[in-house]
């Protein structure tokens, strides 16, 4: 089987490529990536010479480039997206271009190429926010209520994917996942930023009161879920990927990292909250568990310790990313708003 992975030099995409080649060594992977700030070919240096792996630098908004990359492809796994809420607040336009217009181009060319499956990676953020004092969780039937430019762009992409299935019969599946963490995550998200800041001897910025709750998913568990959806998922269906019982507040996540690194809370710095900050996300993963048989393999504490160890062992990787351009963004986002 020949698979086109869009955004394969990014965090989840590169982890997926590693996972797929380890578990399906007979398949061919094409990594199609524009190499924006969050795309890093160093994530894939150990497999770059594999005969089963090919990298193509390209932009999903460019129909000619996409058309060329899709030749002979059986399956598309679409990760490519602008994905950081904070950056979408600073500049929504690039999110609309990549996440909406880019997905439209990719869908159209996949339809023309008659691919056997188009799998779209989405987010639980399309469903909006939940209250802290409710047992409610997101399901596949939850109405869309995006509250950030990022979430709105992903919601629009989801609707386009479904429209191509209903209108043109393009064989699609969609997964909406919880917040991911693990190796190769660009150091701007909560966990990767906190770990790298602490390893640098810096403080950890926390928005507002730190009580925002997320459902945390180790990236390898996400990759396994996609694999099983591709094998056993029903065409046209959506599956939510979450842990069900790992809702943890931001400050509790940071406390766990502090404990692993032997530090106290004096290094935590509460900063002005970001606009429209969603209070809580929580996923009911009953459908994917019952219909497909997927369950998370990793305990949160175990996976967090593994992640911290990875950043400790790979400081050259992340230190190169935290350059002057990163510092300018970081200071603007946390301290100059």
Q: Which residues participate in catalysis according to the annotation?
A: 124-125, 150
Q: Which of 162, 178, 123, 161 is nearest to 145 (CA)?
A: 123
**Token output for 59:** 């932009």
C-alpha distances in angstroms, 203 versus 34, 231, 274, 294, 304? 32, 44, 18, 38, 19
Q: What is the CA radius of gyration of the chain?
A: 19
**Taking a C-beta distance cutoff of 8 angstroms, is the pair 115, 74 a contact?**
yes
The Cα-based distances of 233 to 20, 119, 238, 276, 284 in angstroms read 17, 10, 9, 34, 17
Q: CA-to-CA distance for 261 and 308, rounded, in angstroms?
A: 8
d(CA 80, CA 103): 9
C-alpha to C-alpha distance for 105 and 109, rounded to whole angstroms: 6
Q: How far apart are CA 41 and CA 175, in angstroms?
A: 25
Contact of 118 with 161, CB cutoff 8 Å: yes
> Rounded to whole angstroms, how far apart are CA atoms 115 and 49?
26
């Amino acid at each position: 089987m020949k698979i086109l992975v869009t955004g394969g030099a990014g965090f989840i995409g590169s982890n997926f490529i590693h996972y797929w080649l380890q578990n399906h060594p007979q398949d061919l992977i094409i990594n199609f990536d524009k190499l924006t700030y969050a795309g890093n070919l160093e994530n894939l240096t150990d497999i770059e010479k594999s005969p089963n792996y090919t990298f193509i630098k390209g932009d999903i908004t460019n129909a000619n480039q996409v058309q060329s990359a899709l030749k002979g492809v059986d399956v598309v796994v679409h990760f490519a997206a602008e994905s950081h809420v904070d950056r979408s607040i600073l500049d929504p336009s690039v999110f609309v271009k990549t996440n909406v217009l880019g997905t439209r181009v990719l869908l159209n060319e996949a339809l023309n190429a008659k691919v056997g499956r188009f799998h779209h990676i989405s987010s639980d953020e399309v469903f909006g926010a939940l209250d802290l004092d409710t047992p409610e969780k997101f399901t596949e039937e939850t109405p869309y209520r995006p509250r950030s430019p990022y979430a709105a762009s992903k919601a629009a992409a989801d609707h386009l994917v479904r429209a191509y299935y209903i209108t043109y019969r393009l064989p699609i599946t969609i997964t909406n996942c919880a917040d991911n963490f693990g190796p190769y995550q660009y150091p701007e998200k909560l966990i990767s930023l906190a770990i790298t800041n602490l390893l640098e001897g810096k403080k950890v910025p926390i928005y507002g009161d730190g009580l925002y709750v997320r459902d945390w998913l180790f990236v390898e568990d996400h990759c396994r879920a996609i694999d099983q959806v591709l094998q056993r998922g029903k065409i046209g269906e959506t599956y939510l990927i979450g842990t069900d019982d790992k809702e943890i507040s931001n400050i509790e996540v940071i406390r766990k990292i502090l404990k692993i690194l032997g530090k106290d809370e004096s290094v935590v710095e509460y900063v002005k909250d970001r606009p429209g900050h969603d209070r809580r996300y929580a996923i009911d993963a009953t459908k994917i568990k019952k219909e497909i048989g997927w369950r998370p393999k990793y305990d949160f504490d175990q996976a967090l310790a593994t992640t911290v160890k990875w950043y400790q062992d790979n400081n050259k990787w992340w230190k190169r990313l935290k350059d002057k351009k990163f510092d300018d963004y970081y200071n603007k986002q946390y301290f100059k708003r």
